Amino acid sequence: MAPKKAGVLGATGSVGQRFILLLSEHPDFELSVLGASSRSAGKKYGDAVTWKQTSLLPESASQVPVSECTVEAFKDCDIVFSGLDAEYAGPIEKAFVEAGLAVVSNAKNYRREADVPLIVPIVNAEHLSVVENKVKAAKAKGEKTGFIVCISNCSTAGLVAPLKPLTEKYGPIDLLTTTTLQAISGAGFSPGIPGIDILDNIVPYISGEEEKMEWETKKILGSTNQDGSKFVPLSDDEIKVSAQCNRVAVSDGHTECISLRFKNRPAPSVEEVKQTLREYVCDAFKLGCHSAPKQTIHVLEQNDRPQPRLDRDRDAGYGVSVGRIREDPVLDFKMVVLSHNTVIGAAGAGVLIAEILAAKNVI
Amino acid sequence: MAPKKAGVLGATGSVGQRFILLLSEHPDFELSVLGASSRSAGKKYGDAVTWKQTSLLPESASQVPVSECTVEAFKDCDIVFSGLDAEYAGPIEKAFVEAGLAVVSNAKNYRREADVPLIVPIVNAEHLSVVENKVKAAKAKGEKTGFIVCISNCSTAGLVAPLKPLTEKYGPIDLLTTTTLQAISGAGFSPGIPGIDILDNIVPYISGEEEKMEWETKKILGSTNQDGSKFVPLSDDEIKVSAQCNRVAVSDGHTECISLRFKNRPAPSVEEVKQTLREYVCDAFKLGCHSAPKQTIHVLEQNDRPQPRLDRDRDAGYGVSVGRIREDPVLDFKMVVLSHNTVIGAAGAGVLIAEILAAKNVI
Amino acid sequence: MAPKKAGVLGATGSVGQRFILLLSEHPDFELSVLGASSRSAGKKYGDAVTWKQTSLLPESASQVPVSECTVEAFKDCDIVFSGLDAEYAGPIEKAFVEAGLAVVSNAKNYRREADVPLIVPIVNAEHLSVVENKVKAAKAKGEKTGFIVCISNCSTAGLVAPLKPLTEKYGPIDLLTTTTLQAISGAGFSPGIPGIDILDNIVPYISGEEEKMEWETKKILGSTNQDGSKFVPLSDDEIKVSAQCNRVAVSDGHTECISLRFKNRPAPSVEEVKQTLREYVCDAFKLGCHSAPKQTIHVLEQNDRPQPRLDRDRDAGYGVSVGRIREDPVLDFKMVVLSHNTVIGAAGAGVLIAEILAAKNVI
Amino acid sequence: MAPKKAGVLGATGSVGQRFILLLSEHPDFELSVLGASSRSAGKKYGDAVTWKQTSLLPESASQVPVSECTVEAFKDCDIVFSGLDAEYAGPIEKAFVEAGLAVVSNAKNYRREADVPLIVPIVNAEHLSVVENKVKAAKAKGEKTGFIVCISNCSTAGLVAPLKPLTEKYGPIDLLTTTTLQAISGAGFSPGIPGIDILDNIVPYISGEEEKMEWETKKILGSTNQDGSKFVPLSDDEIKVSAQCNRVAVSDGHTECISLRFKNRPAPSVEEVKQTLREYVCDAFKLGCHSAPKQTIHVLEQNDRPQPRLDRDRDAGYGVSVGRIREDPVLDFKMVVLSHNTVIGAAGAGVLIAEILAAKNVI
């Protein structure tokens, strides 16, 4: 199968750079259009970007001329990945969808739209059915339709990973708390978090993050309506979610101390919880997607794990690690979840979403 | 008033060094005996110690010859501060008490004894009445009695600080969760936490810490029996406490994301909670103690505070900072608490306890 | 003596904040005008500033209304401290001097002017004679003259501290190399160094820094012309200086590994070098200046010192620490120098310069 | 060709773990014996080790039973990699050599022996001729001989990498200085550098390191005697080397600020130096060794590179990065060198040495 033509919006930013790394040697995609601000447009990508990745800028990408973020420039793309800042993403992504393009976006702008899937690809790939239905309906009419799929917030991704198999097996979780210790890469690098704020320090606040976690969790664990065209998030009565978010001196990898209560009694045992997490196989893996983790959730038994430096790269960052699963005196269980924020929580998730869309012939 | 003669057990360790810094220019105490292992005994303190404090070793302490940790060496002390490791503290502290000495200990060994006060001096100074009663009873009989007062665990100190005024005003808290981000100084330095474990990393586990926090909170917020001779901790039915402890790359200052529920309805408002915390004046301050914080609890209004680097030294580390007080979707309130672990959570607490004991003529 | 009226230009910036901290309880100065951009002007200082110091914003300063950086607003100041960015400092400082004001500036703009003293106050206070002469000549004519004194670059300050007593005693140094490990506070905080650039990393480059160190050293170790009106820096033939500058994950305190060769043979012994450094007493101390370090240079004998976290605060940051003094196989000696960049290398130096000027009746 | 049987001495230590990672999927070697202390012997490796690598412990290695470090256990190995601490390496490695085994050691014990090659495999692979000659002479007599090859100190490896092509092309370097900023992984992890010593800090001293760098450089850049049986290091008259070593808060990757002078005049230009470094191809690559870097030396043109986090993994850590090549006011040139201390400076070098030995039929 010929690789799909892929475009990247916001290509010089931190999320855009990660998209380029992941796509430049990807078997399913061909890096074809790189879009950035008009300041960069016209330059070779290698000259326009301040490359800040720990892997070298792929020579092939380096030579690509940067385009403006216009429909015209991207019109031949099979899939467009958006790493645009929220400040710019709104009208650009909208125009792309209206022009019939398929967009996978890391921006927050359309996450709450009722017909836009908000996806953690190892968790709720089935929510892509809403765009699948739309695309197939259009095809049946001989038409083409654009659509957008949103990547979840980075810290939401780690939180919901263990919840999916647990709720599937043991029914609803009605109370959920998480305290996050988030890596600085999530804040980008122009300038991102100032060094003086993070050296020998913690910043116990990330603007908008707690609200995102509390709301996105409800959509991701929620369902679709009867005709499969819209999402129905869990209500505040069904689940109460409380997040406390901190920025810490870690480069990559969000750690979360979570606590949860099941609605149904009796709750499962610690051993059952572990077993369920271990046995969980995400749909992306079943579909044979290239980037899908072989082991979706790694249940760690050493009492001082997961640790970001040691565990964030499991399954190239697509696997989530869960440790210290134990009973909680206040709710039912507490545990520590580690996920790679720039992989399963951002660009990496976007690429895996596109792999799923390709596997399902949606793109 | 002539300064009291003070001895320090474990004088070369990290807690011992802090005792020496705090005592060397203290108006109420005179550094008089420094005890360490037999390997150090006989040397001048300045030669025996690997000094690791950010303030210079006081010249006066430097010249003191190190003693062994025997009753004989400390027999003239009015107060003995113990920075001994738990491994050694048990029999030494016991012998000291039996010999009639007054001991304030940072070790965990006797914290759970029913007649031993477990004290956070800005929180439950009234619990010192148990030793006060004992000492006065002995005096009345013309006798002298030894006793031990235990300093709480460092992360417990920060947790209970806001709880005291809140429960005094609004009645019992029945559910309490805390996720800690703890500084490495709490682990000592021989070797303490290895650098490779903490650089670009988090260790989501501190041996025994969660159990200590969950239990000590119940004793500190608890009461004494009718004759004032023994402590009656809160029961598991009265309060459920859940702690998740993490070690992070911060030198000093423990940050805790806490969440709590009051038993009584209606719960107070956020503004009432803030007001109550702001107005709290600890007994140590009322007694005029030298080290007592002028402001016991600093309520911070900026949404990104408290931060360890910026706020840990308020009131020389004796004041506790509380920020981000807000409603919690799961319990009633969530907030961020910052306390200086080596001051109000260790040696500093010991010195303030001794000041209270002196103010009350117990020593 | 009534305190001198002090103004601060650039009061909301990182250097300005340090000036305010140092001046707010200073016996010789009274904080009187705080100048910032027109965006801040009119607000109370406490509302205009994003306070990022580890000490609290002094309440007195908090209430001061912020002025614009105009001569009119500062016209009654006895001394004006400038923490302006180089981008703005040029015309503003010039206007102030022309209006007869005394300016001590941390900006680089006028450092190379032939009649402007470039001062490290523990090193070349005698260079203030150039402005002293000018002021006294004006006074003799019944006039008033403005002037500017420049604070040296932060890394230059540490470098020249040990050189001064050594060249005074053993004659010229003709070869000098330094490799710096510089703290991030030197880069300010809006945004300063991004966290992602400094966590688990080194940046081996600081724009313009090496040139500044190489040139400023020659002026500071140089002399004045015959009539005492202009500075005569050392020539490239007299001394060759080579600097390599790195930014590292340290909050405060610049470490420098230096190496030097004396022109005269035989060179002194290691022990003589140490003795000379130990015995050095800076002029500021002899003048009784409030902030002058009791011990100008601390010679440390432990082989793993100085260390920034442990030694940067000696003499409140005004003392410089020198360790590992030993013979060098390539030049004569190598050693490690630690200086507090925001104290002796920036705002603190400015305050001590003003103290010297006051002690000499220049202001 | 059947893979060679490889043994690892000190398999549970930090260097040993790296050997195991590198060997477990290596095409030329088969991990066959894992030796550790008698405390670990008999256990499965996965149970004996506290695995601290960022890659997972290979399942195959996990199941290997740990042996004692005896000749008997290793007697069938084609090659033995020693990650033993210097404290234990002496007699064990000696016994192995006497028993006819081929040993590649990271320990310092035999580095200075006149007939032992001290090898940085991308620099002086030709020095392996001394053991090659010995082995071939024995073979010619129908005998077998053991030998030892020593890996250089980690910071020496980075230093000599650019010197090799430069001296080959432009003749001897007679003056050489280096100031290092060394990663903490070089200190191991039991306990290695305490966290409190490295957070917001620098330790300007590493025991024995400067002496090693100054001496090893002379052996590595030196020659062999006429019959090719012994090494003749450069003399102190031929080259003077001065090192200043610092430990900094970096996990992996040693940064060195070096400065050098050529003996011959005129010295090359900056552009010639760059060109020579770029064109250098190490012998290991010419021999087709599996791990040899495609580009031995990466000459970086951006003025703020190399940086450890961004550049240490070039060519899987086997490539060395050199940046900021410029004229030096004191010597001829200064530049910044970055090398991966656990790859080209330790276990990785050992593996590449063994690959060269295999390519030359010495093992």
Residues B195 and B298 in one domain: yes
Q: Chain A contact for B301, CB < 8 A?
A: no
Q: How far is CA C348 from CA A183, B13, B90, C282, D142, in A?
A: 34, 34, 49, 15, 77
Cβ atoms within 10 Å, residue D32? 20
Residues C348-352, mean pLDDT to the nearest whole number: 98
The two three-digit tokens of residue C22, written as one number: 């140092």
The amino acid present at B192, given as its one-letter code, is: G
The two three-digit tokens of residue D302, written as one number: 């951006």
Mean pLDDT score across all residues of chain D: 96
Least trusted range by pLDDT, from A206-215, D184-193, D354-363: D184-193
**Cβ contact, residue pair A313, D52, below 8 Å:** no
> Which helix (H) or strand (E) covers residue B6, if one does?
strand B4-9
What is the CA B225 to chain-centroid distance, rounded? 23
Question: Which residues share a beta bridge with A338?
Answer: A255, A321
Residues C298 and C158 in one domain: yes
Q: What is the dihedral of CA D287, D293, D294, D296, to 10 degrees?
A: -100
Q: Quote the minimal CA–CA distance from B70 to chain C in Å.
A: 31
Residues A24 and A59 in one domain: yes
Q: Which residues of D touch B185 (CB under 8 A)?
A: 196
The amino acid present at A271, given as its one-letter code, is: E
Q: Which residues of D touch C174 (CB under 8 A)?
A: none
The two three-digit tokens of residue C15, written as one number: 């250097």
> Radius of gyration (Cα) for chain B, nearest Å?
20
Residues C328 and C189 in one domain: yes
Q: Which residues of B touch A248 (CB under 8 A)?
A: 181, 202, 248-249
Active site residues of A: 154, 254
The DSSP call for residue A264 is S
Residues C242-256, mean pLDDT to the nearest whole number: 98
Please report, for chain D, how many H helices and E strands are present, in that order.
13, 15
- Closest to D237 in 3D by CA, of D307, D174, D318, D143: D174
Q: Quote the minimal CA–CA distance from C351 to chain A in Å.
A: 24
Cβ pair C199, A251 in contact under 8 A:
yes
Q: Which residue of D197, D241, D307 is in closest CB contact with C329?
A: D241
Q: How far is CA B43 from CA A326, B6, B31, B80, D104, in A?
A: 49, 19, 17, 20, 45
**Cβ contact, residue pair C56, B314, below 8 Å:** yes
**Cβ contact, residue pair A202, B303, below 8 Å:** no
Q: How far is CA B237 from CA A237, B210, B217, B234, in A?
A: 26, 19, 14, 8
Place of tokens 């004229």: D327
- pLDDT, tens only, D212-222: 999 999 999 99
Q: Which residues of D touch A251 (CB under 8 A)?
A: 309
Residues D174 and D323 in one domain: yes
Cβ atoms within 10 Å, residue B190? 14
| Integer Cα distance of B267 and B328 in angstroms | 12
Q: Which residue of C192, C200, C249 is in closest CB contact with A194?
A: C192
Q: Quote the minimal CA–CA distance from B278 to chain C in Å.
A: 17
Question: What subunits make at least 3 CB pairs under 8 angstroms with C?
Answer: A, B, D
Complex ipTM tops 0.90: yes
Residues D71 and D190 in one domain: no
| Integer Cα distance of A244 and A209 in angstroms | 9
| Integer Cα distance of A93 and A104 in angstroms | 9
Q: Chain C contact for A140, CB < 8 A?
A: no
Q: How confident is the model at residue D191 (pLDDT cuts 50, 70, 90)?
A: confident
Place of tokens 């109550």: B276
Cβ atoms within 10 Å, residue A76? 10
Residues D62 and D135 in one domain: yes
For residue C237, what are the contacts with CB-CB under 8 A and spacing of at least 6?
none
Residues B200 and B119 in one domain: no
- Closest to D7 in 3D by CA, of D40, D35, D42: D35
How many CA atoms are closer than 13 Å to the CA of A310, on its beta-carbon side?
21
For residue B141, what are the contacts with CB-CB under 8 A and spacing of at least 6?
none
Q: Which residues of B touch A177 (CB under 8 A)?
A: 177, 259, 330
Provide the CATH number for the domain around residue C62.
Answer: 3.40.50.720
Give the pLDDT confidence score for residue A126 in this predicted structure.
97
For residue A208, what are the contacts with CB-CB under 8 A and spacing of at least 6?
A108
Residues C137-141, mean pLDDT to the nearest whole number: 95
Question: Is the pLDDT confidence value at C191 over 90?
Answer: no
Cβ pair D327, D335 in contact under 8 A:
no
Q: Which residue of C187, C189, C195 is in closest CB contact with A192?
A: C195
Residues C170 and C282 in one domain: yes
Rounded to 5 degrees, what are φ and ψ at D86? -55, -30
Residues A323 and A268 in one domain: yes
Q: Which residue of C190, C192, C196 is in closest CB contact with A185?
A: C196
Residues C98 and C190 in one domain: no
Q: Which residue of C202, C307, C310 is in closest CB contact with D307?
A: C202
Cβ pair D244, C336 in contact under 8 A:
yes
Give the pLDDT confidence score for residue A2 in this predicted structure.
87
| Integer Cα distance of A189 and A12 in angstroms | 11
Active site residues of D: 154, 254
The catalytically annotated residue of C254, C289, C298, C340 is: C254
**Cβ contact, residue pair B200, A248, below 8 Å:** no
Give the pLDDT confidence score for residue C279 in this predicted structure.
98
The total number of structural domains in chain A stands at 2
Question: Residue A296, SS3?
Answer: coil
Q: Which residues of A touch D52 (CB under 8 A)?
A: 310
The two three-digit tokens of residue B116, written as one number: 């031993």
Q: Return the number of CB contacts < 8 Å for A and C.
A: 60
- pLDDT, tens only, A32-71: 999 999 999 999 999 999 999 999 999 999 999 999 999 9
Question: Residue D102, SS3?
Answer: strand
| Integer Cα distance of D331 and C119 in angstroms | 29
Question: Is the pLDDT confidence value at D351 over 90?
Answer: yes
Q: Quote the minimal CA–CA distance from A33 to chain D in Å.
A: 26
Q: Chain A contact for C191, CB < 8 A?
A: yes
Q: How confident is the model at residue D188 (pLDDT cuts 50, 70, 90)?
A: confident
Cβ pair A33, A7 in contact under 8 A:
yes
Q: Which residues of B touch D200 (CB under 8 A)?
A: 251
DSSP state string for D238-300: T-EEEEEEEE-S-SS-EEEEEEEEESSSSPPPHHHHHHHHHH---HHHHTT-TT--SSSEEEE
Domain range spanning residue D66?
4-153+347-359
Q: How confident is the model at residue C2 (pLDDT cuts 50, 70, 90)?
A: confident
Question: What subunits make at least 3 CB pairs under 8 angstroms with B?
Answer: A, C, D
> Which helix (H) or strand (E) covers residue C323, if one does?
strand C320-327
Q: Which residue of D54, D200, D309 is in closest CB contact with A200?
A: D200
Strand pairing of C147-151 and C118-119?
A: parallel
Residues D139-157, mean pLDDT to the nearest whole number: 96
- Best of A193, A199, A247 to disrupt the C interface (most C CBs within 10 Å) is A199
pLDDT digit string (tens) for chain A, length 363 residues: 789 999 999 999 999 999 999 999 899 999 999 999 999 999 999 999 999 999 999 999 999 999 999 999 999 999 999 999 999 999 999 999 999 999 999 999 999 999 999 999 999 999 999 999 999 999 999 999 999 999 999 999 999 999 999 999 999 999 999 999 999 998 877 778 999 999 999 999 999 999 999 999 999 999 999 999 999 999 999 999 999 999 999 999 999 999 999 999 999 999 999 999 999 999 999 999 999 999 999 999 999 999 999 999 999 999 999 999 999 999 999 999 999 999 999 999 999 999 999 999 999
D337: nearest CA in chain C? C204
Rounded to 5 degrees, what are φ and ψ at B113? -65, 140
Q: How far is CA C116 from CA C20, C84, C127, C228, C347, in A?
A: 24, 17, 9, 12, 18
Q: Which residues of A touch D55 (CB under 8 A)?
A: 313
DSSP state string for C167-194: HHHH--EEEEEEEEEE-GGGG-SSS-SB
| Integer Cα distance of C296 and D6 in angstroms | 59
Cβ atoms within 10 Å, residue D141? 9
Provide the CATH number for the domain around residue B306.
Answer: 3.30.360.10
- Best of C181, C196, C202 to disrupt the A interface (most A CBs within 10 Å) is C196
Q: Chain B contact for C59, CB < 8 A?
A: no
**Cβ contact, residue pair C309, B56, below 8 Å:** no
Q: What part of C 233-262 touches A (C-beta under 8 Å)?
A: 249-251
pLDDT < 70 stretches in chain B: none
Q: How far is CA D196 from CA B190, C272, D199, D290, in A?
A: 10, 34, 6, 40
Residues D68 and D96 in one domain: yes
> Which helix (H) or strand (E) covers residue A29, if one does?
strand A29-36
Cβ pair B322, B297 in contact under 8 A:
yes
Question: Residue A1, SS3?
Answer: coil
Give the pLDDT confidence score for residue A266 in this predicted structure.
96
Q: Quote the minimal CA–CA distance from D53 to chain B in Å.
A: 11
Q: Which residue of D52, D184, D190 is in closest CB contact with B195?
A: D184
What is the CA B10 to chain-centroid distance, rounded? 17
Q: Among positive and negative, which fits the CA dihedral C210, C214, C220, C221?
A: positive
- Closest to D167 in 3D by CA, of D60, D261, D290, D45: D261
The two three-digit tokens of residue D270, written as one number: 């900056």
The amino acid present at D309, given as its one-letter code, is: R
Rounded to 5 degrees, what are φ and ψ at B94? -60, -45
